[in-house]
Amino acid sequence: LKLVASRRSFHMLARRLASATRIGAVRRAMASIRVLTTEDSPEKASKIAAAARAFDDSASITTEAVQSYYWWEEKVNCDPEWRVAVDTSRSFPDVRAAIEAAHSYDTPMIIYDLPAGAGPGAHCKAVVACPGREAALPVASGLVEARIVACAQATEAGELALKTTAACRARVEEALRRQGLAPTWTEIGGDEADLRWL
């Protein structure tokens, strides 16, 4: 009888440990955020990545070349940039401070993806797969010119990242639908000054 009781206790303890491990993994995954910014050269992007790595050596950091379209001084501007993505479990204000200290821009835009299920927010990002970079560039330019996205970034592979407001989301979806494209949406957060620019 003691052997049966101890086996039962062992199995209950094992189930509780497995459940606690799953809960811990979910909490860690939920606590992770993706922080995004851009720089105007690969060297400067490397400096941002190094600062992020020094701040959080367990962060996952990627850098990728993008063609950025944005509205500035009453016209569409287009510049090559390097996007730095930092996946970290550290808080956004702390990560932002580390990135900002290494950034070359006077007022860098530093945003982060909100966790899935965070609910509708005032600001969002769409990711759109285009057939290639050459197909993505006119889409990016057109959406910025229509003033329904504040910034559109096209990768070499033709993926577009679009930053906009919830108020413009339906118009963005309609413009993309007319071109046979479908966005995947993520709510975003960031510094209020950055978000007001959107």
Predicted local confidence at residue 71, as pLDDT: 87
User: pLDDT, tens digit, for every residue of 54-99?
Assistant: 999 999 999 999 999 998 899 999 999 999 999 999 999 999 999 9
pLDDT value at residue 8 = 54
The gap between the terminal CA atoms of the chain, to the nearest Å, is 69
Cα–Cα distance, 126 to 107 (Å, whole number): 23
**7 falls in which pLDDT band (50, 70, 90)?**
low
H helix runs in the chain, sequence order = 2-31, 42-55, 92-102, 133-145, 169-178, 192-197
pLDDT above 60 for 9: no
Q: Report yes or no: 144 and 69 within 8 Å, Cβ to Cβ.
A: yes
pLDDT of residue 194: 75
For the stretch 15-50, pLDDT in tens is 554 444 433 333 344 468 999 999 999 999 999 999
- The residue-averaged pLDDT of 192-196 equals 78
Q: What is the pLDDT of residue 93?
A: 94
Q: For 135-157, write each residue's pLDDT tens digit.
A: 999 999 999 999 999 999 999 99
Q: Is-above-0.95 flag for pTM?
A: no
For residue 115, what pLDDT is reported?
81
Per-residue pLDDT at 30: 45
- Mean residue pLDDT of the chain comes to 86
- pLDDT computed for residue 94 by the predictor: 95
